[in-house]
Amino acid sequence: MGNCGTREESAVVSGAHHQVQQLQALSAAASRNPFPCAPADKRHGHGRSTSDLSSDPCTPRHFEDFTNNSFLYTHVIAFSLFELETITKSFRSDYILGEGGFGTVYKGYIDENVRVGLKSLPVAVKVLNKEGLQGHREWLTEVNFLGQLRHPNLVKLIGYCCEDDHRLLVYEFMFRGSLENHLFRSIHLCLSSYRLTKATVTLSWSTRMMIALGAAKGLAFLHNAERPVIYRDFKTSNILLDSDYTAKLSDFGLAKAGPQGDETHVSTRVMGTYGYAAPEYVMTGHLTARSDVYSFGVVLLELLTGKKSVDKTRPSKEQNLVDWARPKLNDKRKMLQIIDPRLENQYSVRAAQKACSLAYYCLSQNPKARPLMSDVVETLEPLQCSGGGTDGGSVLLAAASSSASFQIGTGGPIAPGRARDYRLEQRFGGTVRPTTASCRSPNPDCSPGGGPTACRVR
């Protein structure tokens, strides 16, 4: 899972559907809970609650319940606590990737020294607080969903540990950490032999659109599953990035099975994160897939503006990003004024209009006016190559010994004095930064192997 950061205020199904129901029936049969669980509080500091899982899988009585029904988790490994201590060097403090109300995440490495037959790969190990805010039930929910679901845009659950009162989850390691860190924080990077203690990352337009598309595909997969899954906690800190900036959804502790048959919604206690939750869900507790669409709109707006969904340090009228920005999204002049100025000359006006229009409809107060996530994916596809920025974002090093600009993936400084691309400059106007990025869009209208300057989607 990688550098997941701290918790702020707040495609293939590997098991058949009847197997999921069987596990839920098994869990529901448990009449008591021998494990310490988080209190049924409202989580005022985190905007989440652990008390609303009565219709979700409940606590199994024994650890043997998992091992005896391991066929349900054909891709997930049941680790012992000793094995995870080995992976993390006894949970050494210098192995910590992030921590928050849920517990602590450690980096680790599994191979045949841990267990014969294991493929060598880096992992992230989440250790839940024994009396933490996430609790055993959210742990079980995450095992249930990620143990059953596989998709390129969902973080892969490698394994779990349920031993005595210890609750741990083992994920694939996500090298670039969370989207939140890249948009809003200074992050630690390691380039060549240098250990950078501070770096400011500016994601390019093309990279932001690629991340938006990947996250949208993850949500669309959940919504289109045999029984739809509502993610319920879509936000930048839960979107993790691999070495190629592929976005993957993580933290399924609040995920919930969607309505079935003639049901129009799921009634549930309100949980999630302030600033991302859909207004009708906050007001009524009625949860639908369109609730996730609203949350996606918030994240898309953050990608477009470079601003947090809620920031009390901004002027009072701008503290809530949606309230401030949404009226401007369908106004061409005002729209261009709110787009992140660091993206200047990296996008066409037409591409910006399409992205802003998509965010506008995702953020509609009327849930029925919001698009389906499958429609969101279709809209984002042609925007992948509608920009001319660096594919990996430019990195300004703030290390004491250097202030040079680097381009992630090039291994060195950006070469000065390169020729300007006048074709692109004429199209967009203004000065265009040189780039060697390749267009990664599958769109057939793009030139094969061409960079953003060769992209014909405008």
Residue list, annotated binding site for ATP: 126
d(CA 65, CA 57): 13
Q: Is 429 left (phi over 0), alpha (psi -120 to 50) or beta?
A: left
Q: Please say whether the beta carbons of 105 and 123 come within 8 A.
A: no
CB atoms inside a 10 Å sphere around CB 61: 16
Could you list the active site residues?
233
Task: Give 420's DSSP letter.
Answer: P
Q: Collapse the DSSP code of 31 into the 3-class scheme (helix H, G, I; strand E, B; otherwise coil) and give the result.
A: coil
Query: Which residues, including other chains, have CB under 8 Å from residue 193's CB and lie 6 or more apart?
Result: none
Handedness of CA 269, 273, 275, 276 (dihedral sign): negative
Q: Collapse the DSSP code of 104 into the 3-class scheme (helix H, G, I; strand E, B; otherwise coil) and give the result.
A: strand
Q: Please say whether the beta carbons of 182 and 173 come within 8 A.
A: no
Residue whose entry in the numeric block shows the structure tokens 């692109």 = 424
Paired tokens of 254: 């609040």
d(CA 336, CA 325): 11
Q: Please say whether the beta carbons of 208 and 114 come within 8 A.
A: no
d(CA 252, CA 155): 10
d(CA 267, CA 195): 49
Burial 73-88, CB ≥16 within 10 A → b, else e: bebbbebeeebbebbb
Q: Please say whether the beta carbons of 158 and 134 come within 8 A.
A: no
Paired tokens of 338: 């709110």
**157-163 and 166-172 as β-strands: parallel, antiparallel, unpaired?**
antiparallel
Task: Give 115's DSSP letter.
Answer: S
Helix, strand and coil content of the chain, in percent to the nearest 5, comes to 35, 20, 50
